[in-house]
Amino acid sequence: MKVARLHARGDIRLHAEPEPQPGPDEELVQVTAVGLCGSDLHWFEDGGIGDATLSRPLVLGHEIGGVICSGPRQGTRVAIDPADPCGRCGVCLAGSAHLCATLRFCGHSTTDGGLRGRMAWPSRLLHPIPASITDSDAPLLEPLGVVLHAVDLGRVTPGMSAGVYGAGPIGLLLIRLLAAIGVSPIVATDLLEHRLRAAMEMGASQALLASPGLPAKDVAARTWPEVDVAFETAGADDAVDTAIASVRPGGRVVLVGIPPSDHTSFSASTARRKELTLLLSRRMTGADLPRAIRLVASGVVDLSSIVSASYPLARSTEAFSSLVSRQGLKIVVEPYA
């Protein structure tokens, strides 16, 4: 079985390894497609995220679609929930299992992810998907789940206005979901022109080019009147400041992006004068992946047009180079291509 492992910053190597053996309550999954995420980019460029650093060669990838190839569900196409909480601690029992301190997460710390031919994972975290969801779109279900959780934190309802500050894959899925809910107007910002064009295609009402160092109030001044809720999806302080400058007094700001330095700073006076509620979003809850599958299967949310390039596992280094360059939208690796 072929496996792509990160050995050090910028160092992805292909290995031949034995197939994993499913443990109790696990099934073996043939991995068909893996989406590369901003957190994978942090691991690749920085060798970790926050206080989680590379301690051994790690298989990245947590946005995973596959086919069960063992047990009674053999042949079932699935989307994989990459988060495996303990289910016993106080946080889990209180209903916030996604915040479990001992949670295993694919492609993070010492838990291998999806950039390999096959993987064993708990059966309860393997969610069947219909034929209408393609193999290349299946990895987008996990980030859609992340977006659903962020929207829940923002308390979004139809008829509200929203801003999305950062139009990468998470921002684009967020725009598409907000449009499906009936949010209008939707303002988007990004540093890259091609992402702004995609934002308009996804349902944004206005897409503005941001520039590094451009004062947040200058970006905000070019938008409609202040939005009801703002989502920061870039992992950059400039985007946080723009979100704060753009939201109405008493509004909510949801921070979804992951900053490269593990620190976030913003204009405290602006946030204080508006008495804003700032929320930090952590991945998704256990209910969000099934919700994402239902929304896509029913046609409420369209995942098409977001995947811009696909690579076989043998070209993982090229896939990460494309991720670093930010030339496209969503990069997918197909281990069985």
For residue 89, how many C-alpha atoms fall within 13 Å in the half-sphere facing its CB? 13
With tokens 């684009």, the residue in question is: 172
Residues forming a β-bridge with 331: 309
Considering Cα of 332, then 333, then 336, then 337, what sign does the dihedral take?
positive
Residues linked to residue 334 through DSSP beta bridges, in sequence order: 312
The one-digit pLDDT tens for each residue of the chain (337 residues) are 899 999 998 899 999 999 999 999 999 999 999 999 888 888 888 888 877 888 889 999 999 999 999 888 999 999 999 999 998 999 999 999 999 999 999 999 889 999 999 999 999 999 999 999 999 999 999 999 999 999 999 999 999 999 999 999 999 999 999 999 999 999 999 999 999 999 999 999 999 888 766 556 666 666 667 899 999 999 888 899 999 988 999 999 999 998 877 788 888 888 999 999 999 999 999 899 999 999 999 999 988 888 989 999 999 999 988 888 888 899 999 997 5
Query: Is residue 204 packed enough to be buried (19+ CB in 10 Å), middle (13-18) or exposed (0-12)?
Result: buried
Tokens representing 86 are 């303990």
Assigned fold of 2-137+304-334: Quinone Oxidoreductase; Chain A, domain 1 (3.90.180)
CB atoms within 10 A of CB 237: 17
CATH number at 144-280 = 3.40.50.720
| Separation between Cα atoms, residue 15 and residue 236, nearest integer Å | 35
What are the extents of the domains in the chain?
A: 2-137+304-334, 144-280
